[in-house]
Structure 1
Amino acid sequence: MDKEAGRYRVLLAEDDPVSQAFLCAAIRASGGEPTACADGPTALARAREGHWQLLILDQHLPGLDGDALLAALHRDPARAAFPPALATTADPDSVRARLLRAGFAEVLPKPLALETLQAALRRHGCRPAALDDEDALRACGSAAAVEHLRRLFAEQELPRVQHEFDQHGDNHAALRPTLHRLRASCGFCGAAALAGAAATLHGALANHADGTRLDAALKAFAQALRDTRTALHAQLNGDGGDLS
């Protein structure tokens, strides 16, 4: 974990802009901080100059394919070791063995479902914290203000969100205003994981995602909502530490 930033730093190399936007949102929802590149040479330069917890490399990139990029990193005499690397490819069955031999920790199929990516991120240590006290303090200015807003969030906003989800049932499009409002509230309370899950679900609804991707986004949001409510209950009732 990047201690200074408090985030799990992921270097993403993906040349398709739609896939790149989706993957970045999914990484944020999982507690990571993505940096995206659209071609192999740029990704190689960024990998060499930064400190990363995970690399996610598309196998077919302009200028330098994913396996060639990884080989170049392994030959770099200036770096003793690099973080785990995941390959993404539209043809995993035909290249899986070769990519694993090249040093990739996993080979993920494209199109990549949210649930598949988040499971892979968890396997490699990327787990969102339900509450980020430093983010909340920066947004609110004082521990007293954070506690007051978190209490309102726990006692009023989150039950209302749960009620609206239960009320709308399968009419998912009606949830978009709820998600938009929730993301703003999350910022003041340091609920980055829930904000990320809400952003991913909002994007899936706005882009009319297919059933598999939408179901995964709904499940991830429901889990983030449960985790946030549990963390707030623990902190506000004296079981989860304080902000001092």
Structure 2
Amino acid sequence: MRITPKLAKALAVTAIAGLSLTACGGSNDEPAASGSEAELAFVNAGKLTVCSDIPYEPFEFVRDGENVGFDMDVAAALAEDLGVELNVVDSSFDAIESGLFATQCDVAISSVSITEERKGNMDFSDPYMDDDLTLVAKEGSGITDLESAKGMKVGVQQATTGAKYAAENGIEAVQFEDGGLQVQALKSGTIDAALGNQSVLGYAIKDDEQFQRVADFATGEQLGIAVKKGNTALLEEVNATLQRLTEDGSLEEFTATWFGSTEQ
């Protein structure tokens, strides 16, 4: 039997409870739960409620009526380790970035880049993916870098690091509510280029020869799972699952399944 962090905690609490009863000479008083156990409460009893901005293919999207993708596989593994049912809530990325997700969800798993600003609104797990930015444009568009993209219609997803990076570099970008709309606009010609994470945009154009990644930006971005600030008990469980998925090769399998090769 594999002793998971959750099971270890449960065994520890059982042992402590037994000692307390012995010391009290069979008292009927219930022993108080430890601090960490008391904190490990879910927004919806018996469920791990996950906020995710859908669609953001291949991290999270709907296929045949089911939420699927890289992040959804990670979420399912976390729920399994916690011994609860998975409940996914489609949330705006604005709500996730601001930390408001914590009013209705236990965690946010939605390709969330770890930033110092966001750390003010939430706590982050250990990183589970590196994901820098890229600029994607149509072949022959004349866009080869950020400078040549100025004055052109460059699409970004609002409230993301891509949107912030565009603003910092003098790009007056067209903002989209979600990544799916951003990619649709690129392929329909509504925008001239798209700026965002390499994982998503690289995946979106990997089988379309008319588009190319014209510039990559080494921003050092890493993705993490967000939890409510101060919820250290749940954060420990999240990190334990990520460590397991790394050590047993599951994260590598998820990557191969959902991303394959996105290099161009």
Q: TM-score, normalised by structure 2?
A: 0.23
Q: Relative to total residues, which structure has the larger strand share, 1 or 2?
A: 2
Greater RCO between the two (CA within 8 Å, min separation 6)?
A: 2
Q: In terms of Rg, which structure is larger? A: 2
